[in-house]
Every structure is written in structure tokens, then in C-alpha cells.
Structure 1
């Protein structure tokens, strides 16, 4: 499959073809990176291109998709003098995860597996289920027992089998990994598979285009498994490498206070989150409640190298932010309100730590990642 870039291990350099269906490096267990180098986007021709994320063809590892729903190109809407929101909840399955899922399932379609599986707290699962249906691939989605009933309903509506796991997000991931080792199985993991990250990076490409070929002073994103953090970091590096921007904006990641292993590791100067370092706790921000993110070393490095920081917000702050957004006309789920909660906290509290100062003083774009219809108000 010459048109399907293969995997490469960032730790030991081992490579693997996508069709081999190895979901991680068999030597060290690391998540894969992609053996792909993006070309510079020809911004002069962008106005005439397709109105989807596929308009950034030079930067994408796949061309000529057969399963696209027209995802991407979501609106960027100012809400204060220095803050805009990007409406990624207006995607086909109502979350930003469509950006990665379309890339991931297009790769799966070309690899021709017998089945696709994924694990998710909801949004990634619904996206994978929808795109698997479009690709004509049998699909099973593993979800924690506490997953929103509306998200489970959506997964089933797309024809996927739902495997409900009696446990937290980590228990669900362990169950899916066991199933992923079955022959003929493509593990459509938004964490382990790098095709997903090359889809989420289009979030930053769209902001760059909409702001007149520049990025905001600070990029703020929610962080659980870190797929949006790493997608943004990929895009920024590519834009800098090709001379399309001249600076790297700091990334401020937002975690739930109840489940914040990345924030703790960053504050302590650690290079990664070790197994057992953090414990799970209940939070309304189910989409970022990840106690042991598999790509923690890459996430922490991306934030550190950008000159950014990690901040945390409480459930009560997220509830207030979700209702504030609804009062402004944006009906989003709790996880999608986490970054707005952080901005509100920064403006209300006299805290001069780096992350809070960046959120209080600089131009920002806040991602609204998932629709409120999936969960209702927290």
C-alpha cells in the first residue's frame, strides 16, 4: 500500500506497515508515530478548495478519502474582545473527534481488516462507529459503565456493538487492548494510532487560516489522552517548518482537578506519567478523565517546548462555565466547557502562575469540542 504511510516507533525506530495491524511497537509497547513528512500548504489556492479539513491536502498523510462526511471547517466566533470559540461540536457526530476518526478509519479501510475496535468514554467511540459504518467495517466499541446513555445510544445507532466495561476509563482501555490482539483486528485507538493525530492537527490549520494565516497568542486545549494537544503541536511544527508562521505560541492544557496526572507531573518537572502515578476519581468531564495517558511523555514535552503550562478546573467551575456558554447560545457538554472554565477562573482569581497569566492576558481561541445534546447540562 504505497499510498498508506506506515508506523514508526519514536523510542526504538522500529517500523511496521499499517496492514500488519500492530497497534503498538511490539518491542517496547510504545504508541506509534507516523512515517510521514507534511509538505507546506499552498495558502494562495485555499479559497478555491473543498470546504472540509481535506483542503489541507499537502499536510495530510492520506488523499482521496472515500468515507468523508465533509468534516472540518467549523466556525470561529468571537465572544469577547480577546477570546473566540471554535465550534467543533458542529461536526457530523457532534464532536471534534471526527477530525481524527475520518483519517483513522480511512487508513483502516485501506488495510482491509476483518473488524475494527476502539475504546472510548463516548465521543471517540461515536466517531469511530460512524466512520466504520461508512467504511463498511464491522465495529465494536468498548465504553466504561458510566458513559453517557446518549453516547451509548449513538454508538449503537451507527451499527457498532457496544461492550460496556464495569470499571473506569483505564479498565476499559485494558479490555480493548486484549481484544486488539486478535488476528484480523484493527485497533482504531485515538491514543495509540498516529493517523488520529494527523486528523486533529487540522484544528490548528483552520485557526491559522481563519485568523489570516496566523495563530492566536496562546492555544488553550483540554487534555486527557492529549490527542488535541499533540495534534496542535504537530500543526504548529509544520507551519513553522514551512515558513507559514514565525513563532510557536504557548500551549495551555486544561485538566479536571479530580483527574489531573499531567498537571501534577508537569508541576513536579517529570518527563512522563508513570503507571500508578495517578488514581481515577469521578468528574463530570468524562472526556478528559484519563489517569494514565499513554502518550504522557509526548504531551508533557509538547507543552514544555511551547513555553506553556497545564492548569486544572473543578467540576463546579465547569458547571458554571457550561451554563454561561449555554446562556451565550453555545450548548456544549461538560468536557467542552473546561477551557472556558479555565479562562473564567483566570479572569476572576489573582493567580500569577504562568498558565493563569497566559489565559488572563493574551488572545485565545477556546475549543468547544462536544455538543450538549450528548449529555445534557451537568
Structure 2
């Protein structure tokens, strides 16, 4: 458990450490370890969580209103007021509510995790950090680490959209363009990770990131009248939003603040869907695939490192994983634009799944058969995770 001083700041040595999922080895967070010596992935070690519900009405409308649930306290010098994005009803699909995380400070939901890592880096006295990203996570980390006074290098695929590259460079990040696939970018970053004194601020490997993202789930609970929706539809590539939401839902259930989990329906791009393939096969690990091109670049992850963890989380809620093709994504992006909501293609993928289910256009697969009643239910929440200016509008249908 993290002990807190009178001024609300936790001493570095009492911050929750990291534990290996495979062998249980514990590492202090100040060690900057990002993967266990055995090769296992790390989680934040258990610490006490519990929301003071009565105090929420007097707190600022940011993600830090759920301060008791986080492993580290807010740092006003780092925060940009992130969190509490609007939750509105769709005009085209009235049973669907849309959570507008593309209105976050750097225009994506990744701000939730990035501010957690930047706050940690500043507390630890880190001077340099690095990350690999398809764009949004790198942009969020670049912005928050710049605010925290920490140098940042971002590895991105060479194909990353010009809007995201411009945003990265505007925040002063050193951008390394990697030829090939998103997997090639990850491999290049892993080769560079682990240099002494450099924090690998990975949205996949550093588990503090997920504890920032879980604020999304807490907000849904509060915005929904201190109840959770029946169905939450989430994009999944590396799974940060799925795993963050599952953390929040689990903590709320354990605290007795809700009586049930929402069903998670996760959505992939059909050209790159290793988790949907695993669902179809009943496997516990992502399927080995050859990824194709997709305009939904943010979820084009052919071998997600936390794939088994994602599959387990989705299944624990009674949910499943489906995929949508680029034509459906384009159509959904335009439908959202017609509602006044301009999002990047990746952010339209979940709405595309809901549209396909309502229109009876989904694939004839077991996962779609499981997903359809949830996607067409009366209480469905869909995130809009990234702003349209991040990707060329040419990826929507010609006008």
C-alpha cells in the first residue's frame, strides 16, 4: 500500500512497486524495470483503492477526482486537466452513448495513461524517456513529458499519419521513423530500451499507464448515475483501454460500488485481428497472423504482448471480440461527422461495429453471433478515442 505524506505526495520508496505476472518477482518502481528478468510482463503490485463517493461532488472535474484509486498522487505541474470527457447520446443510434475522449488535451484517450507516467517520471527524477507508438500514445507521452521537463524519444511506423507526426514534433519529441509494420516499430524500440537512466514509458509494458486509463471506467460509473452500462464497446490493438476499463470495473465491483460487470465487446480491424482469431479458435493466446493494411492504424497490432491478458479480461465479462473492415470504418467515420463528431478512423471502429450489428451487416461468425445482442442492446457505450485532425480526411468516402 502506498503511504501518503501530509501534503498529499508519496515518497518514492513507498510508491506501489511492480510484480511479474509469470514468476511473482517484485521490483521497486524507481528501478525503471519494464519487463521481468524471466521475460514476464509486469503489473502494479496490489495497493489499497477505494473511492470517497461523498467527496466527489466537491472535487474538480478531472480524472484525479478518483485519487484514492491511483498508485500516485496528482502533480499540478504535470496535469493538463485531463479527464471527465462528455458522454452524449448518438443521433443515428439512440441506444448508443458516445464518450468523447478525442476532446482530451492531446486529442486522444492516451492522455489518461501518459499523465500517470509523466507524473511518475517527474517524481523519480527521470531525465530522459522513450516510447514506441502508432501515434496517439507517443503524442500524449511527448506532451506530458515535455510539461514534466523530461526529454522524450518516440519510435513510430514510417506510415504514421502526417497529423500525428506534426503533433509529436511540436511537443519537442525526437521522432524515429521505422520502416515496415507496427511490429517492426516495437522491435526497434525494444532494442533501444533499457539504457541506464532512461525510462521506457511504454503504454504496453509499463503498468502504471493502465492505472491512468482506468479513470475512463470510473468516469463511466459516475456519469451513469454510479452504475455501469450494460455493454461497453472498446477498440483493441495493444489493449490499453480494455485492460484499463477492466481494472476499474473490477475495483468498483470489489468495493461493492456496483453489483455487476458490464459486458466488454472489443473491436479489431479485420485486416489485423489476432485476438478475434483467438476467440474464434477458443485459444488463450493471440493467433499468429499476417497483417494487412488498414486505415485503423491505432489498432493494427499483429502480436499484442498482453494478448492473453486481454482475452482473459474480455471473457471474464461475458464478452467477445469482433472485427470490422475499412469500408465499415469509413462509413462510420462519415456517420459520426454527420453528427458533428470528427474522429480519426481508428476511433470510428467501435461505432462501425455497432452500426453493422444494427444493420445486420456483421460477419456470419460465432463471435459476431455473441456480440450482436450486446451491440444492439438498450444501454451501450462507445468511445471516440482520437480526433479527426490526426488522420487525413481523404480516408473517408469521396464526396
Q: Shared fold (TM-score greater than 0.5)?
A: yes
Residues 1:369 and 2:385 are matched in the alignment: yes
Asked whether the 8 Å contact 1:117–1:139 carries over to 2, the reply is yes
Q: Deviations over 1:153-177 (max 9, x none)?
A: 1111101100000111111011111
1:250 is matched with 263
**Residue number among 169, 172, 179 corresponding to 2:185 in the alignment:** 172
- Which residue is equivalent to 2:369? 353
Report SS of the residue matched to 1:23: coil
Compute the displacement of 1:81 (Å): 3.1
1:256-281 CA distances to partner (integer Å, 9 max, x unpaired)? Answer: 0000000001111111126xx12221
Residue matched to 1:48? 58
Match 2:103 to one of 90, 102, 110: 90
Give the structure 2 partner of residue 191 of structure 1.
204
Which residue of 2 is the match for residue 20 of structure 1? 31
Contact 2:16 2:71 in 1 (8 A): yes
Residue 311 of structure 1 contacts residue 356 of structure 1 at CA under 8 Å; is this kept in 2?
no
Instruction: Measure, in 1, the Cα distance between the counterparts of 2:370 and 2:239.
Output: 20
Deviates more, 1:104-113 or 1:181-190: 104-113
Q: How far 1:350 moved relative to its partner? A: 6.6
Is the Cα contact below 8 Å between 1:284 and 1:334 reproduced in 2? Answer: yes
Deviation at 1:363, TM superposition (A): 1.2
8 Å contact kept, 2:136–2:298 = yes
Q: Which of 312, 325, 338 matches 1:314?
A: 325
TM-score by length of 2: 0.92
- Structure 2 counterparts to residues 67-86 of structure 1, below 5 A: 67-79=78-90, 80-86=93-99
2:158 alignment partner, one of 145, 150, 165: 145
1:36 corresponding residue in structure 2: 46
C-alpha separation in 1, matches of 2:46 and 2:147: 25
Please name the residue that 1:63 is paired with: 73
Within the candidate set 215, 224, 230, 2:237 is matched to 224
Q: Which moved more, 1:134-143 or 1:41-50?
A: 41-50
Aligned to 1:107, the other structure's residue is in SS state helix
Structure 1 residue 50, shift from structure 2 partner: 1.5
1:6 aligns with 2:17: yes
Matches within 5 A, 1:265-276: 265-273=278-286
* 1:303-359: CA deviation from partner (whole Å, max 9, x where unpaired): 111100111100000000000000000000000000000000000117671112210
Runs of 4+ in 1 over 6 A off after TM superposition: none
Q: d(CA) in 2 for partners of 1:305 and 1:117? A: 33
Larger deviation: 140-149 or 368-377?
Answer: 368-377
1:106–1:36 distance in 2 versus 1, CA, 3 Å: farther
1:346–1:359 contact (8 Å) kept in structure 2? yes
Specify every segment of 5 or more residues in structure 2 that has no aligned partner in the other structure, as ranges.
1-11, 363-367
CA contact (8 A) 1:8 1:16 kept: yes
Distance 1:376 1:76 in 2: 26
Indicate which of 329, 332, 336 corresponds to 2:347. Answer: 336
- 1:261 matches 2:271: no
8 Å CA contact 2:13–2:30 kept in 1: the answer is: no
- 1:163 corresponds to: 176
Verify the 8 A CA contact 1:36 1:61 in the aligned structure 2: no
Q: CA separation of 1:153/1:350 partners in 2, compared to 1, >3 Å: closer, same or farther?
A: closer
SS of structure 1 residue aligned to 2:105: coil
Contact 2:156 2:177 in 1 (8 A): yes
Deviation at 1:31? 2.1
Is this contact kept in 2: 1:3–1:62, CA < 8 A? no
Q: Is residue 99 from structure 1 mapped to residue 112 from structure 2 by the alignment?
A: yes
Q: Secondary structure at the match of 1:2?
A: helix
Identify the range of structure 1 (44-53 vs 222-231) with the bigger mean alpha-carbon deviation: 44-53
> Following the alignment from structure 2 to structure 1, what is the Cα–Cα distance between the partners of residues 127 and 120?
14
Unaligned runs of 5+ in 1: none
Q: Is the contact made by 1:191 and 1:295 (CA closer than 8 Å) also made in structure 2?
A: yes
- 1:287 partnered with 2:298: yes
Task: Report the alpha carbon displacement of residue 3 of structure 1 after superposing the two structures with TM.
Answer: 4.2
